[in-house]
Every structure is written in C-alpha cells, then in structure tokens.
Structure 1
Amino acid sequence: MEHFFLAPALGIFIGVLMGLTGAGGGILSVPLLVFAFHMPISEAGPIALSAIALSAGVGALIGLKEKVLRYKAAMFMAVFGLILSPLGLWVAQRAPNTPMLLMFSAVLIYVSTRMFIQAMQMIAGTTPFLRKPPPCQLDMSIGKLIWTVPCARSLMFAGACAGFLSGLLGVGGGFIIVPSLKKFTDLPMKAIVATSLGVLAIVSAGGAFVSLATGILDLSIALPFAIGSLVGLLIGKVLEKKISGPRIQQIFSIFTFLVALSLIYKCFT
C-alpha cells in the first residue's frame, strides 16, 4: 500500500523537475528511490529507467511532430547505447552497493556543478567560446547533418558512454548526450534536446526491458512511478512557461548537490 501512494508521488516530483529542467532532471530518480524505499542502486536503477523511457518517449514524439528531432543521429547513438547498456546492468548487479553510491554521488556533483555554471552564464548573458567547427555540421540547404567519419565516431562514443552509465547507474544519460551534441554538432538547442530525448527513450526502454526479462524490475513500484513521472512532466511543461529557466536550474543544481552529499553521508553511516 505504501508503494501505491509513495511511488506515484515521487514520480510526479521527478516529472515536474524533468519538465522544468530538461531530461537531466531524471537523474534524481535513483537517489530518491534509494532513500524512499531503502533499496540498493541495482534495484532502483531499472525503476528509474522505466520512468525515463516513458517520459523521454513522449518528449521525443513531440520533437518528431515538430520536425526538430534528428532521428537518424538519435538511432545511431542509441544502437551503441543499447549494446553497452546490458554490460552496465551486468556490472551493477555484481558491484557492492557502497562504491556504487559513491560513484553516483560523484556523477551528481559533476552534473550539479556544470548546471550551476551554465545557469550563471545564461543569467550573465555569456556563452563559452567555440574554438573550432564541430565534426557534425548541419547542411542548411537540405536541413540534414553531414555525416563524416569524425562525426560518426563522436556520436558513437557519446551513445556508448550514455548506454553504459544508463545500465550501471539507472540514469538516462542526458547529462552526457546533451553536452556531447552541443560539442560535436552545430544543431540548435531545441533539436539537441529532442534528439537527446530520442536517444534516452530507446536506451532507457532497452535497459528496462532487459531488467524486466531478468526479473530485477519491481513492477509494483515501476509502473506507478513511471505514470507519475509522465503526469509530472506535463505539469512541469506548463510551469516552465511561467518560471525563469536559469533560476530553476540554479535551485535544481543546489538541490542535486545536497542529495549527493546525503548519499555520501549514507555510505559512512
């Protein structure tokens, strides 16, 4: 009965964060599940992936309808993500929980610090200096990416890293895919977000399916959590239009940093 109320409530909270901050908001799914249900990361990860798959899938479909989703790039990255995701799941099921918590804390600290700096730059109106053209460039005459070996190699590496971490820690990998697309392509931000959601939807769904097939996905928590996250995502999208994005990112980054410190404290108590 506890799962029936707590899981969707947590899902709505995570969904609102995803709606306000982008796909990266889902990174807090795992630590909140760990705290709320006292489960190891190896069990919380697959539940988080099921919620990310559902929410990111809806976001990707919206991007496809608006014709901003680069579906070829998304599928290319997702293929390598799907190859590495089962390996991450395999390692997660065999690794001790304490090192996993510490690793996840390090990821949270990295993401929160990066997001805080980006929010400060947006508020100040400054942007990082781009030193050289990215390997993946958009052909404006046809509106498609120009595929080259360096472009394919860069996207392959990003997709593989996101897939491995997706399986290992239960994170969608948006904190890797979005910065990678910013660095390796000249796509506009709206296309980057939509393409990232496409990759996350495929990779997370693959990880959740493997977890379900191997019997490590707790559907009694995963289903209400995933549905709640979708409801929260829609609420967050409405609130997004009324709240300053950079300020929300600052608050989210501070909250994420505090969650990381709480996980570290949990490891030593």
Structure 2
Amino acid sequence: MSVVGVAVALVVGAVVGLTGAGGAIIAVPALVYLVGLDPEDAVPTSLIVVGLSSLAGLLPRRHVGINWRLVAVLGAAGIPASWAGAAVAERLDPDVLMLFFAGMMVLAAVRMLLASRVGAAARTARPPGESPAGESPEAAIRGMLVRGLTVGLVVGFLTGMLGVGGGFLLIPALTLILRVGMQQAVGISLAVIAINSASGFAAHLPGLTMDWALTLSFAAVAVIASLAAGRLSRRLNERVVSRAFAVLILLVAAWVAASSLPSVISGRAL
C-alpha cells in the first residue's frame, strides 16, 4: 500500500474512532481519486474498512451501557435495506453515484456544523423507551420501534448504495428522534455501522473482484487508528472535532462534484 493509502486509512480510522461516524464519507472518494480504485470496487472496500474500524472503535466504548435491543431493531431493518441499496447502485453510472456521494457529504457536513444543537438535545435526552409525560410505556415503546425501523431502513439503504456506514445520519437520529444520550448514541452507531457494513458487503459479493491485499492492509491501518482515536476522544473537545471534520467534508465534496459533474453534464453518464 502506498504512502497515500496509509495516510487515507489513518484518517478514516481516526474519524470513526473520534466521532462514531463519517469514515466512509471520506473513504470512498479517497479510494477512487487518490488510491485509483473504480467506484464499484471502492464501495465494497470501504464497507470492509469501515465495518472493521467500527468494531474496533466500539471496544473502548463498551462500558457506556449500549442498548442492544435498539441495535437489533436498527440492524434488522438495515439488512434488507442495504441489499436494496446495493441493487440500485449496480444500475447507476459511477459518475452519477459519486455525485450522490457529494450530496450526502454536504448533508454530513451540515450535521457536523449543527453539532451544538444535537449536543443540547442529547443533554436533555431520555433513555430509549422512557415515556414522555402523558404517554403510556406501551405507546412509547411502539413509537420507539416505529422510529427505529424507519431510521434503520434509511441508513441501511444508503449503506448498500453508497458504501457508507450511515453514522452521520445515525448520530442525529438517535439523539434527536430516539432521544438517546450522546455517549450511548456513538456506541449504538458503531454497532449498527458494523452490522450494515457486513450486510452491504454481502450484497456486493456476486461477481465481486477486488484487491484483497490492498483492502486488508488498508483495514488493518484503519483499525489501529480507530482504536487509538477511540481512547483519545474523551480528551478532545467534541464541538471542535465536529466542526473541523465538517470543513474537511465540504472540501472533499466540492472536489468530488468537480471531478464527476462534467461527464454527467455532457451526457456521457446518463
């Protein structure tokens, strides 16, 4: 693996370990434009790397009391949705797929820039399933289940189609919609990303050809970076990290769009 590849793997792993999200947002365009993979190879490669990095990032956070029932709901919804997303990706031109990716990167950056609002919501969050005033516990559980299934379907579809773990959507969804505290939300996000990544990769297996030596070496570096970043995350200012990463994502999104848009406009991608 080249020096550029090592640098990209370190960044991807560090992002996953620090934020519980976002690694694939930069992994796919980096694999395409810096490492030189085709998008159809970059997506499954990204799923392996981000899935393993998420498992590694989960280890330092296992003490936060992760709600495994909620993980199961999100994962169960995400598995079939990831297969549907992979089927859609096979029918899209690579340049169109990368433009979709640029759009999702912008959404991720906006989410990061609004992290202070998410953090405020998390500080007042209730445990999943705890009923608000005037609502029965049964109704609260049903509502959480419906919202969890909806979030799981959306995130799973994007995982299969774009090769992203979906953490940049999961974190705000868990804190704002499912009312999970931030620390537990990161742990749940990492667990669901690992499940969705495994399912999404399985959906890409038929006819898959990829450079396994590159993929496994890339994943190994990313896992080491994720473990180190997960331990470091408690000492860093979460808001500063989120905003810095948001700026990086916006820059990469502009780069991806500038690289893919000309061929789409010319009609070669349609």
TM over 0.5, shorter chain: yes
The one of 97, 112, 117 aligned to 1:115 = 112
Asked whether the equivalents of residues 56 and 200 of structure 1 are also in contact (C-alpha less than 8 Å), the reply is yes
Deviation at 1:147, TM superposition (A): 6.2
1:13-56: CA deviation from partner (whole Å, max 9, x where unpaired): 21122223332244211111111133333221111110111121
Structure 1 equivalent of residue 7 of structure 2:
9
Deviation at 1:157, TM superposition (A): 0.8
Taking a change above 3 Å as real, the CA distance of residues 40 and 238 of structure 1, as seen in their structure-2 partners, is same
1:123-144: CA deviation from partner (whole Å, max 9, x where unpaired): xxxx3699998984379xxxx9
**TM-score, normalised to structure 1's length?**
0.84
Q: Which amino acid aligns with 1:159?
A: G
Q: Which amino acid aligns with 1:56?
A: S
**TM-score, normalised to structure 2's length?**
0.84
Q: Which runs of 4+ in 1 moved over 6 A?
A: 129-135, 144-147
The one of 22, 25, 28 aligned to 1:24 = 22
1:179-224: CA deviation from partner (whole Å, max 9, x where unpaired): 1111232322111111111111111112223334542443232211
Q: Which amino acid aligns with 1:52?
A: V
Structure 1 equivalent of residue 268 of structure 2:
none
Once residues 168 and 32 of structure 2 are traced to their aligned partners in structure 1, the CA distance between those partners, rounded to angstroms, is 20
The one of 87, 93, 98 aligned to 2:95 = 98
CA RMSD of the aligned region, Å? 3.0
Deviation at 1:110, TM superposition (A): 1.1
Taking a change above 3 Å as real, the CA distance of residues 167 and 119 of structure 1, as seen in their structure-2 partners, is same
Deviation at 1:230, TM superposition (A): 0.5
Q: Which amino acid aligns with 1:229?
A: A
Q: Which amino acid aligns with 2:66?
A: L
Asked whether the equivalents of residues 125 and 175 of structure 2 are also in contact (C-alpha less than 8 Å), the reply is no
Once residues 46 and 132 of structure 1 are traced to their aligned partners in structure 2, the CA distance between those partners, rounded to angstroms, is 35
Question: Does the alignment pair 1:247 with 2:240?
Answer: yes
Gaps of 5+ in 1: none
Mapping 1:186-225, distance limit 5 Å:
186-225=179-218
Mapping 1:31-70, distance limit 5 Å:
31-64=29-62, 66=63, 68-70=65-67
1:63-84: CA deviation from partner (whole Å, max 9, x where unpaired): 44x1511111101111111111
Question: Does the alignment pair 1:76 with 2:73?
Answer: yes
Asked whether the equivalents of residues 26 and 171 of structure 1 are also in contact (C-alpha less than 8 Å), the reply is yes
Matched position secondary structure for 1:172: coil
Once residues 181 and 103 of structure 2 are traced to their aligned partners in structure 1, the CA distance between those partners, rounded to angstroms, is 29
Deviation at 1:169, TM superposition (A): 0.4
Q: Which amino acid aligns with 1:227?
A: A
Gaps of 5+ in 2: 263-270
Asked whether the equivalents of residues 119 and 249 of structure 1 are also in contact (C-alpha less than 8 Å), the reply is no
Once residues 211 and 228 of structure 1 are traced to their aligned partners in structure 2, the CA distance between those partners, rounded to angstroms, is 23
Deviation at 1:121, TM superposition (A): 8.1
Question: Does the alignment pair 1:234 with 2:227?
Answer: yes
More displaced 10-residue stretch of structure 1: 81-90 or 207-216:
207-216
Q: Which amino acid aligns with 1:148?
A: I
Structure 2 equivalent of residue 163 of structure 1:
156
1:145-193: CA deviation from partner (whole Å, max 9, x where unpaired): 9863222111011111111100100000111221111123232211111
Q: Which amino acid aligns with 2:8?
A: L
